[in-house]
Amino acid sequence: MRRHGLAFAAAALLVAAGLQLWLCTQYVTIAPGWARPASTLVRVGEERRGGNLLYVVVVARRANLVDVVRSWLDPSIEVRPVAGQSPQTQDWAGYARWMQEMMEESKAIAAAVAFRSLDYRVDLDALATGDAGPLPVNFRDFGIVGASAGLMIALEVFSQLTGENLAAQPVAGTGVLEADGTVYPVDGIRQKIATSLAAGAKAFLLPRGNLEEAQGMARKIRLIPVETFEEAVAALRRLNAEE
């Protein structure tokens, strides 16, 4: 009887190990992360500290069995297949490379959108190096990946260029920004709202395409859906006027 018990336990461990190996290569866990000032990511011209515009980061990691169980109990934890995230991502390594490439492109687009909104002429390709433009742009690398911080980076660049305080109180946000100023939906909106709530943000800027999903998570934070960069600037000015 004891031998049978040990054999069963050994078999169960082997199955669990095999399942864990499969999960960590084929699935990714998306969980709440942190919200920090966008001014820590980018500087235009002279140094500038502080700021209430917050970019939001979610945690993307290799999935494990514990994450699967947590995802059943907590709506802010999500386990999803790596394959299908993009045509290039069939495994974890491909997913990580793709996310890094998206961030590099997003930074240049964000700066270009902000400059162009003020009628500056900029070279999008040159901005990607961080050393070209009407004023020096210094992007800081904090290990942030993906394109979803694009909107908040652009708003921060705009704020630094104009000297205008766009957020009297902490405002978090997210959105993929295209070169024409259009704001596109993002993944992980539930996790980003949970992160913003924990950080004490009073409002949350988000792509209009994410609004329906976001409404189920937002109970104590004001949702501000936008479709363009210009809408985001106008919405923040209105919010400031209400204070």
Model confidence pLDDT, tens digit, residues 15-44: 444 544 445 557 777 888 889 899 888 888
* Type of residue at 198: A
Give the pLDDT confidence of 138-168 residue by residue, as tens digits: 877 666 666 788 999 999 999 999 999 999 9
* Type of residue at 12: A
Sorted by sequence, the CB contacts under 8 Å of residue 91 that are 6+ apart come out as 25, 26, 82, 83
Q: What's the per-residue H, E or C state across 169-237?
A: CCEEECCEECCCCEEECCCCHHHHHHHHHHHCCCEEEEEHHHHHHHHCCCCCCEEEEECEHHHHHHHHH
Domains of the chain by residue range: 2-242
**pTM over the 0.75 mark:** yes
Q: What is the mean predicted confidence (pLDDT) over 85-106?
A: 62
User: Pick the residue with more confidence: 198 or 48?
Assistant: 198
User: Pick the residue with more confidence: 83 or 61?
Assistant: 61
Overall residue count recorded for the chain in this entry: 243
**CATH code assigned to 2-242:** 3.30.230.10
Task: Indicate whether 87 pLDDT > 60.
Answer: no
Give the pLDDT confidence of 200-240 residue by residue, as tens digits: 998 999 999 999 988 877 677 899 999 999 999 999 999 99
> What pLDDT is recorded for position 72?
76
Average pLDDT, the chain: 78
Tokens of 230: 């210009």
Q: What percent of the chain has pLDDT over 70?
A: 69
